[in-house]
Chains A and B, each alone.
Chain A
């Protein structure tokens, strides 16, 4: 029948559309690796990843990105330490302790925070956060601490959004069961519902980590961007992303390929985190 072939045709079209994701990922992997890996090879993979000296303009240049790897990790951990507690608590507040009218006002506010472009956060960080952290904590203000605070703020909407959805999707029976057994409202939420929402909250944290590691524009304005090993939470560092964006504009030949190599390392990090997370998810459910 004509409509049967038409149906089949459409199904194939849908299938092709669906494969676009796969094609895209392959293309990205291919181009990144094809352009970055030879450079890593030329520099020597251990020298590249573990080398502590990034001086591409010296003659001869050295391309060690270890300081940047550590920088990215520190800043991300800092962002998680700041963002997760506040985010999860806010999510609990929104889901279980908030009045309906307040919610109608606060939820769009969270969505709004998610939409604010990262350069605006960066601007804010540069002009407000840097002087404030300097006054309160000392140091130059352009430091790991400032970057962590800014990133923590930036991942809040991600964590809040997903955690709140996770908490809301826990069946009411969990809550009611606990109440029936005599627990208070707070107790039931924290000890009956929260554990049930674990996987959703975990996935929000992973998404937050991904966002924090990948953030470029905001971080480059506040972190100081010193290309050396971190030596104090009040001192600055350079992240992998900042390294790329600062030097990509003018890099040539091996330098440029080294930056693409940095992108590859970043990419692999993200893949590892995602992979780890899927494994964890399978264990938890």
Chain B
């Protein structure tokens, strides 16, 4: 009997310690986290996406983290110490859980568990992205190879029409504010759309809107990442590829691309971080590992 009691008591003790610790650190970032002083002497914890991610590709190009070396070859100089996380959500969770972390995500995926910084004094709002003052923005591209089926063409026409761009502008930024109304032929058939996990949410909304007016169509949206999507379009395993970055030259050689939306990339930190703004240069230097502590930022 005594053994059982001690068992149960110790279990409760261990359980409460662990749960207590974790709930202090996770997500709840309101009044509680201001108790701690933001210690500027701490190391910056850099969080990045995997190499095939379009978000990463666009980010490193726009911030100058990717550079041409002496012989003209492009090198991604993201610091080797950066934590690589595979999807947007794991980046958000990692940054939200670590006071000294910094990362980047699509502005369409921002939520209030993290804080989005201004870059060069410009905040990542829809207007700023649209008028070009927020520099870290990239197009959502779709790509096709050669002759495509009438359904694929019709779907693309829909995306670029007024109705399609309306769907886009609900969470992202339309590329064409003055598009004509959709007047397509609504053929039947099946197509596969594959690629970027950042573009997938808006592509799924477009798909729903399209199927509502053309129920004869079957559209499969497969989610992976930008480079996989381009590869699938080249291989023929997908009719349309999605990328959240500009196409590489090798991809452009085989595919035709089209921008369907504009999206910003926000630089995010923990909500208790005292920084509000970084220069583009600082962003670059943090991500290549030249600025190590928060206090080194000028």
To the question of whether A and B form a pair in one complex, the answer is: yes
Task: List chain A positions with a Cβ less than 8 A from chain B.
Answer: 56-60, 99, 102, 126-128, 130-132, 134-135, 140-142, 220-221, 224-228, 235-236, 238, 245-247, 249-252
Question: Which parts of B8-30 form the interface with A (CB within 8 Å)?
Answer: 18, 21-22, 25-26
Known: A250-B224, A250-B226. A228 touches B98 (CB 8 A): no
CB <8 Å contact, B97 and A57: no
CB <8 Å contact, A131 and B83: no
| Chain B interface residue count, Cβ-Cβ cutoff 8 angstroms | 35
* A135 vs B76: C-alpha distance when bound (angstroms): 32
Contact of A126 among B51, B75, B93 (CB under 8 A): B93
Interfacial chain B residues near A127, Cβ < 8 Å: 22, 26, 93, 97
CB <8 Å contact, B25 and A132: yes
Interfacial chain B residues near A221, Cβ < 8 Å: 85-86, 90
Dominant SS at the A interface? loop
Question: Taking CB as reference atom, which chain B residue is nearest A123?
Answer: B93
B74: CB under 8 A from chain A?
A: yes
Question: Taking CB as reference atom, which chain B residue is nearest A143?
Answer: B83
A156 to chain B, nearest CB (A): 15
CB <8 Å contact, A58 and B75: yes
Interfacial chain A residues near B25, Cβ < 8 Å: 131-132, 134-135
Proximity bits, B85-107, A CB within 8 Å = 1, else 0: 11000100110011001000000
Question: Taking CB as reference atom, which chain B residue is nearest A220?
Answer: B86
Interfacial chain B residues near A142, Cβ < 8 Å: 83, 94
Task: List chain B positions with a Cβ less than 8 A from chain A.
Answer: 4, 18, 21-22, 25-26, 45, 50-52, 73-76, 80-86, 90, 93-94, 97-98, 101, 224-231
Interfacial chain B residues near A245, Cβ < 8 Å: 86
CB <8 Å contact, A246 and B26: no
Known: A246-B50, A250-B224. A225 touches B84 (CB 8 A): yes
Interfacial chain B residues near A60, Cβ < 8 Å: 73
Known: A126-B94, A250-B225. A56 touches B51 (CB 8 A): yes
* A224 vs B79: C-alpha distance when bound (angstroms): 13
* A128 vs B23: C-alpha distance when bound (angstroms): 8
Interfacial chain B residues near A128, Cβ < 8 Å: 18, 22, 26
Question: Taking CB as reference atom, which chain B residue is nearest A236?
Answer: B83
Interfacial chain B residues near A227, Cβ < 8 Å: 80, 84
Contact of A132 among B18, B73, B81, B98 (CB under 8 A): B18
* A228 vs B83: C-alpha distance when bound (angstroms): 11
Interfacial chain B residues near A57, Cβ < 8 Å: 51, 76
For A127, A132, A250, which residue has the most chain B Cβ atoms within 10 angstroms?
Answer: A250
With A58-B76, A126-B90, A225-B84 given, name 8 new contacts (CB 8 A): A58-B75, A126-B94, A127-B26, A131-B26, A134-B98, A246-B84, A249-B225, A250-B230
Chosen A-B contacts, 13 in total, with CB atoms closer than 8 Å, are: A58-B76, A99-B4, A128-B18, A134-B98, A140-B83, A221-B90, A225-B85, A226-B80, A238-B84, A247-B50, A249-B227, A250-B227, A252-B227
> What total of A-B pairs shows CB separation below 8 Å?
97
For B81, B83, B86, which residue has the most chain A Cβ atoms within 10 angstroms?
Answer: B83
* A245 vs B224: C-alpha distance when bound (angstroms): 11
A10 to chain B, nearest CB (A): 43
A123 to chain B, nearest CB (A): 9
Interfacial chain A residues near B52, Cβ < 8 Å: 247, 249-251
Interfacial chain B residues near A132, Cβ < 8 Å: 18, 21-22, 25
Interfacial chain A residues near B4, Cβ < 8 Å: 99, 102
* A221 vs B83: C-alpha distance when bound (angstroms): 10
Interfacial chain A residues near B21, Cβ < 8 Å: 131-132, 135
B142 to chain A, nearest CB (A): 16
CB <8 Å contact, A252 and B231: yes
CB <8 Å contact, A249 and B84: no
* A226 vs B83: C-alpha distance when bound (angstroms): 6
CB <8 Å contact, A250 and B98: no
CB <8 Å contact, A226 and B98: no
Known: A58-B73, A127-B22, A227-B80. A140 touches B224 (CB 8 A): no
CB <8 Å contact, B80 and A131: no
A224 to chain B, nearest CB (A): 5
CB <8 Å contact, B94 and A130: yes
Interfacial chain A residues near B76, Cβ < 8 Å: 57-58
Question: Taking CB as reference atom, which chain B residue is nearest A124?
Answer: B22
Interfacial chain A residues near B97, Cβ < 8 Å: 127, 130-131, 141
Question: Taking CB as reference atom, which chain B residue is nearest A229?
Answer: B80
* A99 vs B83: C-alpha distance when bound (angstroms): 46
Question: Taking CB as reference atom, which chain B residue is nearest A57?
Answer: B51
For A58, A221, A249, which residue has the most chain B Cβ atoms within 10 angstroms?
Answer: A249
* A29 vs B50: C-alpha distance when bound (angstroms): 29
Question: Taking CB as reference atom, which chain A residue is nearest B22?
Answer: A128
A235 to chain B, nearest CB (A): 8
Question: Taking CB as reference atom, which chain B residue is nearest A67?
Answer: B80
* A246 vs B26: C-alpha distance when bound (angstroms): 25
